[in-house]
Structure 1
Amino acid sequence: MCPSSPASKEIRARIIEKFEHLQGETLASSYAQALNIFFDLSLEYESLEDFKSLCVFVPDICLSIPSSLYMMGKKGDLWLHRTTNPRKVFLFPEPISPDSASLSVLRYGDCWAFPIRHTQTGNRILGLLCLHRSLSQEEEAFFIVYASRIAKIIDAKEAASSNQHRLTFINTLIRDIGHNVIVPNMHFKLLFLQMGKQIVQLERKVENLPPFKYGDHGMDPRQEILFGIANLRNQLSIISMQFQQASLFLESLLRREHFEKGNYALLLRPCNFRSQILEPQIERFRPLLLDQGIRVEMDPEVCVDEDIVLEADLGLISQAFANLLSNAVKYTKAVPTPWGTSSKTLHYGWKSVANAFGL
């Protein structure tokens, strides 16, 4: 059975309509008319399957030359995808020999075949355009050009289809992330709050216990328990802070609007620079900096009581400062001091500069 696209009848009708219109309006040659129709309708019909039908209908209708389109399979064999002459289906050697692949025209009896080559790697054949009658020298020259144009458009349409497939996959992935990552994160936040409340309740119960009897050199068991509870609270605070920062970055980077718009979709809101942006990152990286022998000092000229309010995307701007501090951990080098030693120090601070960006 002859392969075809669902819109093949419509495509044929559109070619006939355009061809009749051009014949009445212009004195251009049939070859020029055929190319004009080919380019116009290749834009009108976006799918690759419709384009394959267009490739064989244009020679058949505009130049009265029956044609077929064969495309290369995964194993290097040729498969018939479209034809306007199903009675003359030709079986090609499998695969095409390397010597034949380098030619502009292949001859198989009364079938003239024009290789459709990948535009990036010219030796790779995508398929063959076959004409089912002998061609003149002028017709042969035309179909060499026609086959090259088919190749370029196939490359473009395959790239567009591949990009669309990737975008669809990314959008599906983002929806899955929203359901399977972002939403469970909200549950974890609730668990941290519940754990904090349970620690407070446990602490109060221990404080209300009656005094224990212990020796002169012993330690009140209640104090030991309260000390352990304080350590537990401290560990929970550290874990909770790390989780909050990771969640902030995750939710900001994987925001669905980024992928729908194709760029960062900023969620602007008033943010306190010191308390919400800078100091949380400083505290997060302080242990890592100290492990590398890097002292962390606030610049003495900083007005500590000043907390500048910015209109910013909290997650994205926090990530920018996190990246800076991460680089500081990795790349800070020791410098000589006036006392003849060397040290590694990170100074941080902030100040408000009016009209800094000419605004």
Structure 2
Amino acid sequence: MSAGEEQSALQMVLKRVEEKQRSYRRYNFSEAQNAVLRTFFDLAQEYDSMEDFYRVCVAVPRVMLGLKARLYLLNERRNTLQLICDSESGLVTPPEPVATTDLSCRTRAKDDSLHVPIQRKPSPYDSSTEERSVADLVLGRLEIAGGAAMDKADRFFLRKYANRIGYNLHNRLIAQQNIRHLRFINNLVTDIEHNVITPNMYFRHLFNKLRKRLAELEEVSQEFSRMRQADLCDGQTCGLVQQRLELIYDELAANHREMQEHYNNYSLFLESLFRRDHFRKGHLVLRPRACSIEKEVIAPQLEHYGNRLVRQGIKISQPRDMAEEEITLRVDVGLLSQVYANFFSNAVKYTSSVHDHNGETIKLMAYGREYLSDYFGPGKDGVKFNVFTTGEHLSEREAQMLFSDGFRGEAGQGKPGTGHGLAFIKQVVEIHGGVVGYEPTAMGNNFYFILPLSPDEA
């Protein structure tokens, strides 16, 4: 900023100070009223927690003016007014919804009480010509018991006091929102590292396989060149060379398919984690569409992890009913695909052998689904998606901590991993309106999630 620009900015602030000075002379507040404002400012700075701030809002009028006060605020969705704190009984836990929102930008008397609106701090980006709803302008209201009979001067002071609450509350909410936003971005970076960067190292394995095939191809080419120079290219020899070339071609084609599958998977995960809306809004933003869970979500991930499961000696049990009876759900394909990617990745690492009821040794991963009538309430059915693996049951403590970020059970000790996968699964399922869980079953462990089934999907 240049010296001239700084002088201009300073003059603007000096002008506002002078305007405030004139305003307070015009307000002509009493010494007691000025003490209320000073006390509120001091205590609002002293207490950090929102709960203590709510208590300060109602305690100051009670102690310094002898007024019984109640603090009401809109919920996060801004569609329900809730009683938050009472100067007589303190914090209301949980907040009590008010039967009627009855919000207004004007101070109003109702029954014996005075209802003073608590307005948010005006934004410099707000347009004065833009129509705004009351819920956009008002954070809540302050109720003063017995205040209906107050004169105009006292009502004016309480309006100014409520404004101080609103401005302070607005700044606190913005600070909380920024903290949540930063925490989300930090978690999203972990998601990207866990679901994209680490799996991307699998490309190295694919490139090594490709390099090996190319080396074999070069070897055949050199051998064929030597045979031609030695005039040894008879029909039988050429047939053997052709067989080797066909074998190498098949292996190269398989490598290409695997790389294509990995690229498609990688691209899907990148799109679903690097969306601009995630960073702008500070939370995962769904892009749901109707899809077949079996064909569009599970099958690609199973194909991606199938070879790794087989290499670990794990048998895959696929349910017939999921292929024969498709369920179309509205989900975010990219995010839900990562749910199954994490389940199958864990199956590769943690599935172990057990003895079945016939005494035979088995090492198995199975997946499936089942309908749950009225799971989310009357007429609100759910679909339970299961991923089962053989092995020892988890301890009670492990089962309780399983979906906590960073937690790793005893089976994970000494194995690569971050303990983030199941926490990510929980986050994705919950923003779809579902729930996650774990249950010990015969011969192993079942990990599941339940999604709501809308009436048109049933």
TM-score range, shorter chain: 0.3 to 0.5
Q: Which has the larger radius of gyration?
A: 1
More strand by share: 2
Q: Which has the higher contact order (CA 8 A, sep 6+)?
A: 1
Normalising by structure 1, report the TM-score: 0.46
